[in-house]
Homo-oligomer: A and B are copies of this chain.
């Protein structure tokens, strides 16, 4: 072997992986989130990692981020391109919308699902941006209309789930696309989408940068631009947002509708602790499929890290895949983005390196059978148990347990009829014990 070339693997940038101690914490987070979603009655769905490219591109705007699949043989020019039109999904919303349309006749509505899967984006990796990451989504899709009640329930679920994860403080910001679009229409602006895109850059390029785009690219006059910027500055802890926007003196039917929806959502969440949910009129969300309520959350002390929660209402997405109206609303927790930051900042206390509760020692080859029986008995009672992999000095076996963080070492009797003993490595105490009744 020593004459072989050694192929030293290096980490692949943007594709995180964790040590067993960190992975065990990540798994506990995933279990916590899953339990939280099920507590509200959402059903688990998983979709393939790939979708047809035309499904992924149904809204067209994320083309540059999609990874397509090719067979290695194809690269070498071997032909068969049957997979050529497949891409890895870049979120879980588009696959879910496709799923509901495709299985429409088999589902009960309103269809409420959660989905916790990896997604991929062919982006340049940077802080908080990964090329492979796990998202945890809850969504509701219903034919014809989705009751606004769900727009209010989703941030509540996320609030509850995140509150159980011991994170630095965060705020869920809520807005409504209809408020933005209706306000711009009320100002007599013909192309509200361009304005939404410009205002979405507020935190990146500042008010003067946005004003420049509004005036020079979107063709707004100075007064219109100022009104748009004033709207984006509105931030409020509750339904006061409605009054604040109305005070700006702009009117349109769509604006009224949006304000009513936004007010309903904020009102429904008024019982949550102060500051956890805010109206923020600068939030627009980049994805084209949002049509009403939008959500976004960030860490209060590091808003520039990017959104850790995102979502909104998409009234026209699933309908593209079936000939009927199929609106939806959903919210997504950026698990990897949150978790990676906590790991990088040393805020994750490493978990155990293995799930073993008890190591059964094997002092001699002759006693292995007895050790195996003991191990089986403990396992049968739901205790995670390893039997040491070889006969060895007891000190070596205790050392192994201690290195792996296994809390107990079990000693089967040296001869039949004698007592079992168990050593608590934490206290150092060793006592007799019965494998039929002992509990860690």
Contacts and interface: CB of A to CB of B under 8 A. Distances in A.
B40 A325 contact: no
Interface in A1-47: 1-2, 4, 6-12, 15-20, 23-24, 27, 38-47
A432 interface: no
Interface in A35-94: 38-55, 58, 63-73, 75, 83, 86-88
A389 interface: yes
Interface stretch (A106-114, A181-189, A233-241, A279-287): A106-114
B41 A319 contact: no
Given A9-B98, A12-B52, A71-B122, A43 B355 contact: yes
Given A68-B69, A71-B67, A72-B122, A322 B354 contact: no
B43 A389 contact: no
Given A24-B43, A384-B41, A7 B72 contact: no
Contact of A102 (B9, B49, B325): B9
A356 interface: yes
B108 A403 contact: yes
A322 B8 contact: yes
Contacts of A47: 17
Interface in A349-378: 353-356, 359
Contact of A4 (B120, B320, B384): B320
B20 A107 contact: yes
Contacts of A354: 41-43, 108, 112
Nearest to A103: B19
B106 A19 contact: yes
A47 B404 CA distance: 21
Contacts of A55: 7, 9
A312 to B, nearest CB: 18
A71 B75 contact: no
Copies in the complex: 2
Given A17-B46, A108-B403, A122-B71, A389 B9 contact: no
A150 interface: yes
Interface string A390-413: 100000000010011010000000
A323 B147 contact: no
A385 interface: yes
Contacts of A24: 43-44
A421 interface: no
Nearest to A64: B73
A14 to B, nearest CB: 9
Given A99-B17, A323-B6, A63 B58 contact: no
Contacts of A120: 49, 69
Contact of A20 (B7, B45, B48, B67): B45
Given A379-B39, A384-B38, A66 B72 contact: yes
Contacts of A122: 69, 71-73, 83
Contacts of A64: 71-73
A389 B150 contact: yes
Which residue, A9, A83, A131, has most C-beta atoms of chain B within 10 A? A9
A424 interface: no
A149 interface: yes
Contacts of A50: 12, 15, 132
Given A9-B98, A66-B72, A389 B107 contact: no
Contacts of A51: 9, 12
Given A83-B122, A150-B389, A354-B112, A58 B323 contact: no
A53 B71 CA distance: 12
Interface in A282-329: 316, 319-323, 325
A262 to B, nearest CB: 19
Interface string A111-137: 011000010101000000001100000
20 contacts: A6-B322, A9-B98, A9-B102, A12-B48, A12-B50, A17-B47, A17-B99, A18-B46, A20-B107, A39-B385, A40-B379, A41-B359, A43-B353, A44-B355, A49-B120, A66-B71, A67-B69, A68-B72, A72-B122, A147-B389
